[in-house]
A and B are shown apart, each in its own frame.
Chain A
């Protein structure tokens, strides 16, 4: 009897450990698969051409060209725009929730922010087509509103829930004694907020913003539907742009397996994967340093 009990204990310890290996295997599998397939693309087209050429025209009959410069700029433009919008709004809202607003309002607004996080990206994209697009077209007198700015606005709202909830935790972690000391010296609420609370949580807010950006840069359906998808080099926020994610989503379904085009799309995904890994890793480092200081 006892022996059987110990056997089960041993059995479950080992089999549970196996399940943990699945995550490690998946991450390594993703990396290996992307690298192996990208390698075949780089062999055929060369790294230099891939990154520097701004013509993405893989379907051209005589001379297909695989340059992702314009796609990188498209991704960069929408993400930077989203960050510029979401960072002040998100941090401002976090300060409002934890320092200014009454607690009943907080109890209403926090679930609303969580609800925002739950809206599927394809619905945000739809809102970009039926709501934000027509609004931009009218406001700036454009033929249509499907451009980088539209994507930025939507991505900002997709990054906001992350930024708000992480920032709020950071702001709440500032010791009460700091604020009391500031009030005791005669500072008012705003002075305390900007000169005591804010400096105390700079790095945490940075981590929050980076986590939000990490989410925005990998977003696919929203930008696919809202940014217009022109492959030309964009000239500003009112240009129609195509991001790396949208390119993979549009073309992967139609390209035959094993062609240069097919492998190049894997190379696009590899670039995206490495960018998000880098952003998340940096956010992680910033947050870890913060925790260490907290102890």
Chain B
């Protein structure tokens, strides 16, 4: 073997090592969480309140809180994001307002989640007098997920062939009729994928809800949007760092972690399958 060939194999081996290293870390982490977390999951764990100062019992209020919060945030973000994307792609053309909007969306996507938390505290909790509540947290999370909803919807709209639009317009449809009855139906699977991914992002976020409504412990499930609530990610944070006896509640923390992880992965799987099926259909 010449020296050049030797170098080639050394180089290629180092690239393989990079990929293997990344994958190994991921697998070790998931394996550890799964091995210690899955045995904790039981119907009792999922369906009861925490007891005895959170050293026993389950995570029902956290599951409920995260579900309601995520759905509420998406209900706020999805229409707004889709509308914004439709305007950008179908109506606006190229102008200063379009450019400004796109720049704003790009920059919002990079704003740290804790900054959204402060913004939510100042605007929704204090400015709009919502108090620390489910609604204030949902509004904050909606703003956080807005850029990604806009980006994925824009992408989905761009995939719709130009000819479809021109056909509708040539038949005498207005721009809105074309968008509503031709472009949107064709783009719906792509839009839905984006919305599901936004759901999954919102479900795992902790920093934006820290000061806008999440509670350490609530005795009852939230009954109105103005109540405080418990959430899975915050519950995990509490159990693993703020609890007076973190070693003792470690199994509960593992259970909470795996429940959150399963929720997020299932949402991602749904998005993945939806996208795969949509691609297949388009090829036919």
Which A positions have Cβ atoms within 8 angstroms of B? Answer: 5-6, 8-9, 12-13, 15-17, 19-24, 26-30, 33-34, 37, 88-93, 95-97, 99-101, 109, 111-116, 118-123, 125-127, 129-131, 157, 160, 164, 188-191, 193-194, 214-215, 217-221, 224-225, 245, 248-249, 252-253, 257, 265-266, 269, 272-273, 276-277, 279-281, 284
Inter-chain pairs besides A120-B203, A272-B112, 18 sampled, C-beta below 8 Å? A8-B174, A16-B87, A20-B97, A20-B101, A23-B105, A30-B119, A34-B118, A115-B265, A118-B268, A120-B264, A121-B206, A127-B32, A190-B7, A220-B114, A221-B237, A245-B207, A252-B210, A269-B115
> Is B284 an interface residue when CB atoms closer than 8 A count as contact?
no
Contact residues on B (Cβ < 8 Å of other chain), bracket: 35 or more
A293 to B218, CA, bound (A): 57
Q: Which residues of A contact B11 (CB under 8 A)?
A: 190, 193-194
> Is B61 an interface residue when CB atoms closer than 8 A count as contact?
no
**Chain A proximity of B179: nearest CB distance (Å):** 8
- CB–CB A116/B26 < 8 A: yes
- CB–CB B122/A33 < 8 A: yes
**Chain A proximity of B205: nearest CB distance (Å):** 7
Nearest chain B residue, comparing its CB with the CB of A86:
B22
Q: Flag B176-217 by CB within 8 Å of A: 1 or 0 each.
A: 110100000000000000000000110111110011000000
- CB–CB B114/A218 < 8 A: yes
Q: Which residues of B contact A13 (CB under 8 A)?
A: 87, 91, 175-176
Q: Which residues of A contact B126 (CB under 8 A)?
A: 257
- CB–CB B22/A120 < 8 A: no
> Is B123 an interface residue when CB atoms closer than 8 A count as contact?
yes
Q: Which residues of A contact B21 (CB under 8 A)?
A: 89
Instruction: Provide 19 A-B residue pairs closer than 8 Å at the C-beta atoms, listed in order of the A residue.
Output: A13-B176, A20-B84, A20-B88, A23-B104, A33-B123, A37-B122, A120-B205, A121-B113, A121-B204, A122-B233, A123-B236, A130-B240, A191-B8, A220-B206, A249-B207, A252-B118, A252-B210, A266-B122, A277-B111
Q: Give me the 9 closest cross-chain CB pairs, A-B, nearest first.
A: A218-B112, A120-B204, A92-B18, A16-B87, A190-B8, A19-B83, A280-B110, A9-B174, A190-B11
- CB–CB B80/A100 < 8 A: no
Q: Which residues of A contact B121 (CB under 8 A)?
A: 252
